[in-house]
Structure 1
Amino acid sequence: MKLELYQIDAFTNKIFGGNPACVVPLTEWLPDELLLQIAKENAVAETAFFVKKGEKFHLRWFTPDIEMDLCGHATLATAHCIKSILNYPNSTIFFETLSGDLTVEVENDYYFLDFPSRMPIASELPETISKALNIQPKEIYKSRDYVLVYDNQEAIEHIQINRHFFDQINLGHGGVIVTAKGNTCDFVSRFFTPQATILEDPVTGSAHCSLIPFWATRLQKNELKAMQLSNRIGKLNCTNKENRVVISGQARTYSVGHFWID
């Protein structure tokens, strides 16, 4: 079987920036084990698979390790593939996912992702995560992910993870976000996933489901600029709504090709 494969850099306006995702269009669903094998072979943080379903697209996301319940950068990459490569005529793209119905609006080279809001609540830090951090947070919160708040951007830049301790905790679909006010933007962050093939995710749209309402409340503003400080750097425009968040950014196509499976 011959399948199409697109690799797209999301949340960036230049190649080699943002977060790379692979996108695979399907006409019908393949077995889950095969989807996971394809994601492992692609060896990027996420591979998105979609099947057109009437006026919607059924969308699923796989890391090299598990199927995810929500992924921002691979959703943006999929929207870019559908709109800019496959020439979908509509400016609104509707997705059916494990996290419910999601929409992406396309306007002037930007993709606006309408995602659920996940306000984190005060929590305690597991000892294994604390031992894994070279710098301890000032505040700890929890939603799907742990949200660890620091004093400044410099602390975020210098965070290091000891995987011996970090990989002892299983957070399921979740991970650990470290965040602080930004020097040239409203807030910055980094994202780490225990027991994952790829420890640090370059740009994590789903993490901003918690970061946006948190920083919107703290900074008393609903329009925010964010940066994820991985070595690839991601830039996100963020809007806080009552029960939703809108995350927007750009994308660039890196490669277009095919692969074959037996």
Structure 2
Amino acid sequence: MASEASGVLLRPHRLTGHELRLRRLALEDVPRAAVIEAESYPADEAASAERMAERCREAGEHFWGVFASPVPQGDVASASFPGAALVGFINGTRAEGDTLTDESMEEHMPEGRSLCIHSVVVAEKYRRCGVARAALQAYMKTQAQDTRLDRMLLIAKGKLLTLYLGAGFKLVGPSSVVHGQDPWFELGLDMCLARQLDFVQVDAFTAVPFRGNPAAVVFTQRGGDEAWMQRIAVEFNLAETAFLEHASASDDHFNLRWFTPVAEVDLCGHATLAAAKAVWATRQSYSQALRFQTKSGELLVSSSEDGWLHMDFPAEPAQPLATAEAGSSEEGAPAGAVRLPASTPADLASAFGIPEASVLFVGQNRMDLLVHVTVEAFDLLQRNDTAIAAFPVRGVIVTAEASNRVPADAGAVDFVSRFFGPRFGINEDPVTGSAHCALAPFWASRLGNNQLVAWQASDRGGLLRVTNNAATSRVLISGQATVVMQGQLDP
């Protein structure tokens, strides 16, 4: 079973100033655990120190403690985990059968396929900080690694049903077990379900479901398994699937990667917005500002009370194509870009079925082409996916001043755009946050305003607010997002 020595880092929780880890409880820590047990249960329900020591010896793989470091003021350092204090624990024994009885809760059956949970306990001064929930979720994951277990069973009082139901347990009904004076309810968890991987599907850049740009968010990178992530992205068959996992002990810090159905990409705005929304919607962090480590550096996402999310991205200004054409690609084109031929403006006009004279500007950054066209041409675009895919770039951004394609409920906007990426399996992207890393500096210079409102004029459409900061070469991209689906993947 993984992480027994160093323990599993618990997050999120609201116990500030301390790192919490769930790790196997050593026999030396049982006396402290017995004190916490006695303080948490009535005398006729609390297990004795002797009984707990017996469980630790016989079923130690199911007896895990919650340790806080550094040692909180007033607490006693752990006998087995230097620099930390035991502040809670979860213990269980194995049992036969698919329901709990007085007999099955008394004896540990090493080959039993049910795990009977006896205690989920947090010392009183650490309660109501999210510690129990985080510990229970981590405990479930550690125990789910044992494929010999079919189910996890426990009994709970009515006031704690919300905790267990929120963790995925199902209510079986009133329990026949007699334990103290109060009635108990039995709950169960299918361990096959506990082994599954959570995902969330989010519509980004909209507050209304089924608009904006959908992205799937999966809460693991499975150790950096690129082949697995690509297969999952193909299965979702969305423009982008985001894969994220914690990057450090801090619950606001994540590693983030993005995959289209065809390939991994270096930057994706709408899937970053979706990832942040998914983190908050599933309570994976209590912080209102998140940090994502990506192939494009660290990206920051914050939320405001009006429900908008704000992404701090690097600016990706498009250099005029004439500059990119001059000399070698290293000298003229943006870093990482491919130098394009002089016929590119005419080729673009042909690919979109518009007159060459309506193409006002063609620029290039390390990822995309940016094409400024007249309002009239923008409203008449007729794309040729094969022709567009021939350009050796991630995608083609076509933009114009506000046009007739802006719906009335979007309000006043400064510019419109569309994004086409058939080379990477995206014929047209509904809303493209990263494209605005080029659009924001482009339109800020032309309109003389660094704070702009944008509409991406796809069939689904999406509204964005962008702020260009030329001094820092950063762009703040703001949008709304809504969760439309949650589920599980088989590992």
Q: So what's the TM-score if we normalise by structure 1?
A: 0.94
Deviations 1:208-239 (A, max 9, x none): 00000010010000110000000001100010
Residue by residue, what CA displacement relative to the aligned partner does 1:67-93 show, whole Å, maximum 9, x if unpaired?
010000000000001112225211110
Show the counterpart of 1:29. 223
1:73 aligns with 2:270: yes
**Which residue of the partner structure matches residue 157 of structure 1?**
379
**Residue deviations 1:185-209 (CA, integer Å, cap 9, x gap):** 1010000013232200000000000
2:259 matches 1:62 = yes
Aligned to 1:103: 300
Q: CA RMSD in A?
A: 1.6
**Greater alpha carbon shift after TM alignment, 134-143 vs 6-15:** 134-143
Higher strand share: 1
Deviation at 1:3, TM superposition (A): 1.0
Q: 2:369 aligns with which of 140, 146, 151?
A: 146
- After the TM superposition, which of the residue ranges 201-210 and 1-10 deviates more from structure 2? 1-10
The alpha carbon displacement at 1:28 in A equals: 4.3
Between 1 and 2, higher relative CO (CA 8 Å, sep ≥ 6) is seen in 1
Question: Match for residue 316 of structure 2?
Answer: 118
Shift of 1:27: 7.0
Q: State whether residues 186 and 225 of structure 1, in contact with CA within 8 Å, keep that contact through their aligned partners in structure 2.
A: yes
Corresponding position of 2:207: 13
1:202 pairs, out of 421, 430, 435, with 430
The answer to whether the 8 A contact 1:27-1:52 is kept is: no
Residues 1:250 and 2:480 are matched in the alignment: yes
- Once residues 260 and 102 of structure 1 are traced to their aligned partners in structure 2, the CA distance between those partners, rounded to angstroms, is 30
Deviates more, 1:133-142 or 1:247-256: 133-142
Letter of the 2:378 partner, please give it. Answer: I
Is 2:246 aligned against 1:52?
Answer: yes
Structure 2 match to 1:187: 415
Q: Deviations over 1:97-136 (max 9, x none)?
A: 0000110011121110000011111115526534312014
CA contact (8 A) 1:188 1:229 kept: yes
Aligned-pair CA distance for 1:164: 3.0
How far apart are the structure 2 equivalents of 1:170 and 1:164? 12
SS at match of 1:17: coil
More displaced, 239-248 or 190-199?
A: 190-199
CA distance in 2, matches of 1:218, 1:58: 36
Aligned counterparts, 1:219-230, within 5 A: 219-230=447-458
Is 1:4 matched up with 2:198?
yes
2:423 is paired with a residue whose SS is: coil
- 125 and 21 in structure 1: CA distance in 2 versus 1, 3 angstrom threshold: farther
Residue 83, structure 1, aligned to residue 303, structure 2? no
CA contact (8 A) 1:157 1:229 kept: no
CA distance in 2, matches of 1:246, 1:120: 17
User: SS of 1:88's equivalent?
Assistant: coil
Unaligned runs of at least 5 residues, structure 1: none
In 2, Cα distance between the equivalents of 1:34 and 1:180?
39
Which residue of structure 1 lines up, in the alignment, with residue 442 of structure 2? 214
8 Å Cα contact 1:40/1:65 also seen in 2: yes
1:176 to 377, 387, 396: 396
Larger mean CA deviation between 24-33 and 88-97 belongs to 24-33
Q: Which has the higher helix share?
A: 2
Distance in 2 (alpha carbons) for counterparts of 1:213 and 1:34: 37
In structure 1, distance between residues paired with 2:269 and 2:390: 26
Q: Which amino acid aligns with 2:371?
A: L
Instruction: Name the SS of the counterpart of 1:34 in structure 2.
Output: helix
Structure 2 partner of 1:235:
463
Q: Distance in 2 between matches of 1:41 and 1:206?
A: 23
**CA-CA distance at 1:246 after TM superposition:** 0.1
CA contact (8 A) 2:221 2:243 kept: no
Pair 125,96 (structure 1): closer, same or farther in 2 beyond 3 Å: farther
Task: Report the CA distance between 1:150 and its aligned residue.
Answer: 1.1
Cα pair distance change 1:150/1:129, threshold 3 Å: closer
Matching residue's letter, 2:220 = L
User: What is the Cα deviation at residue 157 of structure 1?
Assistant: 3.1
Residue ranges of structure 2 left out of the alignment (5+ in a row): 1-194, 322-341, 404-411
Structure 1 residue 178: deviation in Å?
A: 0.3
> Once structures 1 and 2 are overlaid, which stretch shifts more, 222-231 or 83-92?
83-92
Percent of residue pairs identical:
41
Find the aligned partners of 2:463 and 2:233 in 1 and give their Cα distance: 25
Q: Contact 1:128–1:169 at 8 Å: present in 2 too? A: no
2:422 and 2:239 map into 1 onto residues whose CA distance is 13
- Paired AA for residue 134 in structure 1: G
Are the equivalent residues in 2 in contact too, given 1:125–1:140 (CA < 8 A)?
A: no
| Cα drift, residue 31 of structure 1 | 1.4
Which of structures 1 and 2 has the bigger CA Rg? 2
